[in-house]
Structure 1
Amino acid sequence: MVAADAIVTVSYKRLFQRAIAAAPERLHFAAHSHHLWPDASYVGQLAAWEDGVRLADRKWERVMGEIWPAAQAHVANELRLPDPSTVVFAPNTHELLLRIASALPKRPLRILASDGEFHSFRRQSARWEEAGTARVHRVPLDALVETARMGAHDLIFVSQVQFGTGHVFERIAELAALARPDGPWVVIDGYHGFMALETDLSAVADRIFYLAGGYKYAMAGEGCAFLHAPPGYGPRPEVTGWYAEFDDLSLPPGSVGYAPDARRFLGATFDPSGIYRFVAVRDMLRQEGLTTADVAAHAAGLRDALLAALPIEAELLNPGSPARFLALRSPHAARWKAQLEAEDVIVDVRGDVLRIGFGLYQDARDLEALIGVLGRL
Structure 2
Amino acid sequence: MILRHYARRGRIALSFVEPRADGWFAADDLLAAFSKGVDLAVVSQVVFNTGQVFLELPALIAAAHAAGARVLVDVYHSLGVLPVDVAALDADFAIGGSYKYLRGGPGACFLYLHPRHLDGSLTTLDTGWFAKREPFAYQRPDPPQFASGGDAFLESTPAILPWYQARAGQVFTLAIGVQRLRAYSLLQQQRLVALLRERGVDADGGTRERGAFVIIRDAHAVELALVLQERGVHGDARGSYLRLCPDVLTTDAELVAAAEIHAAVRADRNI
CA–CA distance in structure 2, aligned partners of residues 347 and 291 of structure 1 = 25
Code of the residue aligned with 2:181 in structure 1: it is V
TM-score, normalised relative to structure 1: 0.59
Q: Does 1:244 align with 2:131?
A: yes
Q: Is the 8 A contact 1:155 1:184 kept in 2?
A: yes
CA separation of 1:137 and 1:300: change in aligned 2, threshold 3 A: same
Equivalent of residue 87 in structure 2, options 194, 202, 224: 202
Greater shift in the superposed pair: 132-141 or 194-203: 132-141
% identical aligned pairs: 26
1:314 aligns with 2:198: no
Residue 213 of structure 1, CA deviation: 0.2
* SS at 2:14 equivalent: strand
Does residue 160 of structure 1 match 2:45? yes
Q: In the alignment, what sits opposite 1:260?
A: 148
1:171 aligns with 2:56: yes
Do residues 222 (structure 1) and 106 (structure 2) align?
A: yes
1:189 aligns with 2:74: yes
Of structures 1 and 2, the one scoring higher in RCO (CA 8 A, sep 6+) is: 1
Query: In 2 relative to 1, CA 134–171 (structure 1 residues): closer, same or farther, beyond 3 Å?
Result: same
Distance change (3 Å), C-alpha of 1:164 and 1:124: same
Aligned pair count reads: 246
Q: Contact conserved, 1:244 with 1:265, CA < 8 A, in 2? A: yes
- The gaps in structure 1 that reach 5 residues or longer are 1-122, 248-252
Shift of 1:149: 3.6
Query: Aligned partners of 1:256, 1:179: CA distance in 2, in Å?
Result: 32
Residues of 1 paired with 2:38 and 2:94: CA distance? 18
Gaps of 5+ in 2: 20-24, 135-140, 266-271
CA distance in structure 2 between the partners assigned to 1:266 and 1:313 by the alignment: 47
Match of 1:133 in 2: 11
Write the distance in 2 (CA, Å) between the matches of 1:266 and 1:354: 36
Separation in 1 of the partners of 2:37 and 2:209?
A: 31
Distance apart, 1:254 and its partner CA? 5.0
Q: Which of 239, 251, 259 is the matching residue for 1:363?
A: 251
Provide the C-alpha distance between the structure 1 equivalents of 2:126 and 2:132, rounded to a whole number of angstroms.
12
CA distance in 2, matches of 1:149, 1:337: 37
**2:214 aligned with 1:296:** no
* Rounded Cα–Cα distance in structure 1 between residues aligned with 2:105 and 2:8: 33
Matched-pair contact (CA < 8 Å) for 1:149–1:178: yes
Contact 1:161–1:193 (CA under 8 A) maintained in structure 2:
yes
RMSD after superposition: 2.5
- Separation in 2, partners of 1:354, 1:137: 27
Match of 1:235 among 97, 119, 122: 122
After TM superposition, the score normalised by the length of structure 2 is: 0.80
Give the SS at the match of 1:173.
Answer: helix
Indicate the SS of the match to 1:210: strand
Matched residue, 1:347: 235
Counterpart code for 1:300: L
